[in-house]
Structure 1
Amino acid sequence: MRRLMIVPVMLLGLAAGSASVAQDMPERRVTVSGVGEVTAAPDLATITIGVSEQGQTATDALRANTRAMQALFDVLDTAGIEGADRQTSGLNLQPIYDHSEVRNGQGPRIVGYEATNTLLIRVTKLPTLGDVLDGVTVAGANRINGISFGLSDTDALMEEARREAVEDAMARARLYVEAAGATLGPVISIDEAGGVSRPQPEMAMARMASDMSVPIAEGEVGLNARVNVVFAIE
């Protein structure tokens, strides 16, 4: 009778051991990164322009600057650049010094003043960009500090970039897993890595708006997305 009781106890122990081994086996998975990138022609440009005027007094410099800025605003009004598409980004008034007498033991002497007004404008009609630059220069703008191109609406393009990033991750994962002799399983998780990039210029083709306009290289802007995807391995 004792020997008959030992057999089921041993079988029960083996069954419990098998269940424990199954639970301890780690889930097989693979983590890959995917990148998606799309490009498009820009539909807007942002330019920083400025007017600097000098005068014998601070008042003279400010008045001269005001007249030049008013002429500049008139040009922008004609071009349809108004409201939210233009913003004053800086207004400076500083003395102009004569340092020629410093060597004689005297301090620098104020000989006038310079007033500078800086304006940020956005051009949403790119075919007119060259004419706008010509117009503001004729009106009195004597500083152009920078120009950048962008997109007014990036939602649809970013959606496409994200889809391409996921597809890229799936293709990479399938390649790695099948090369290892296994089968790719379902997606466990997807994380967007590091956010998304802002539009960046890529390559440019110079375009002359007209015979008298400044040649502008618009090029293309690119958007990209990066994702980390975890897949199960079957």
Structure 2
Amino acid sequence: MKHNRLSVLLFLGLILVLALSACQAAPITTSRDSSIPYPRQLNVSGNGKVYLAPDVAYVNVGVHSQAENVTDALNQNNAKAQAIANTLKELGIDEKDIQTSAFNIFPQQQFDNEGKLTGTIYMVDNVVNVTVRDLSILGKLLDAAVRSGANTINSINFDVLDKTAAITEARKLAVEDAQRQAQELAAAAGVQLGDLISMNSYASSGPAVMYDMKGGVGASGQVPVSAGQLQISVDVNLSYEIK
């Protein structure tokens, strides 16, 4: 009787071990409904450009002075900087449109041909950013600033204060360009466009022309300046479902 019970227990234990082994060996799988195909897509990129006449200019005007004495260098620089500021105001530039962007004082040691220190020269730089809202006086302003003591003009950047309408128009042109391309590609491939799946837009702007001072001061006493045109550019990416 004991022998029969032992045999039954061993048999049940063997069945339990086999069942546990089968559970551990079974791989974990995920199911995907193969009846739902991945949607076919057509992706296109479009671009729209609008050109505007600038209505404002940003000018960097600077004064560089140097002397063997730091006080002399600073006094010379201050006198020229004040003269330039007075000239700008006389031309109608508002005080809020004149902003100091850099002011530096630094020594530069001098050496002879044998490498021996002979002295020190102190240099002073004063740079201001000027916002010019009347571009008709820009050439006259540059000439007047130089004659008042400015000896560095680092850059002139033209811009448009309100680009809202131009960006809207450039977006419209970019979307139309992308839609036209999508329709042409679909027709060439013999397919039909479905719903619009996604859309991305990117806007940028930059001056087409900076400034020209090659001719120097003209007979009229003004620096010849070309404002050119400002380009507003918008890129869009469209993704359509293919039917």
Query: When the two structures are superposed, what TM-score results if normalisation uses the length of structure 1?
Result: 0.80
Q: Confirm whether residue 132 of structure 1 aligns to residue 144 of structure 2.
A: no
Contact residue 103 and residue 124 of structure 2 kept, 8 A: yes
Structure 1 vs Structure 2 CA RMSD = 2.5
Q: Confirm whether residue 115 of structure 1 aligns to residue 124 of structure 2.
A: yes
Task: Determine the C-alpha separation between the residues in 1 that align with 2:140 and 2:210.
Answer: 22
Structure 1 142/203 Cα, relative in aligned 2: closer, same or farther at 3 Å?
A: closer
Task: Determine the C-alpha separation between the residues in 1 that align with 2:218 and 2:117.
Answer: 51
For residue 165 of structure 1, the aligned residue among 159, 163, 174 is 174
Alignment map for 1:70-85 (pairs within 5 Å): 70-85=82-97
Identity of aligned residues (%): 34
Q: Which residue of 2 aligns with 1:33?
A: 45
1:159 shift after superposition: 1.1
1:92 shift after superposition: 1.4
Q: Which residue of 2 aligns with 1:199?
A: 206
Task: Determine the C-alpha separation between the residues in 2 that align with 1:97 and 1:203.
Answer: 37
Q: Which residue of 2 aligns with 1:98?
A: 110
Task: Determine the C-alpha separation between the residues in 2 that align with 1:40 and 1:79.
Answer: 26
Q: Which residue of 1 aligns with 2:224?
A: 215
Structure 1 78/98 Cα, relative in aligned 2: closer, same or farther at 3 Å?
A: same
Q: Structure 1 regions of 5+ residues with no counterpart?
A: 1-19
Q: Structure 2 regions of 5+ residues with no counterpart?
A: 1-32
Task: Determine the C-alpha separation between the residues in 2 that align with 1:88 and 1:204.
Answer: 22
Q: Which residue of 1 aligns with 2:195?
A: 186
Q: Which residue of 1 aligns with 2:162?
A: 153
1:107 shift after superposition: 2.5
Residue 197 of structure 1 aligns to a residue whose secondary structure is strand
Contact residue 47 and residue 120 of structure 1 kept, 8 A: yes
Contact residue 127 and residue 209 of structure 1 kept, 8 A: no
Task: Determine the C-alpha separation between the residues in 1 that align with 2:200 and 2:92.
Answer: 43
Contact residue 156 and residue 210 of structure 2 kept, 8 A: no
Pairs aligned (count): 209
Structure with higher Rg: it is 2
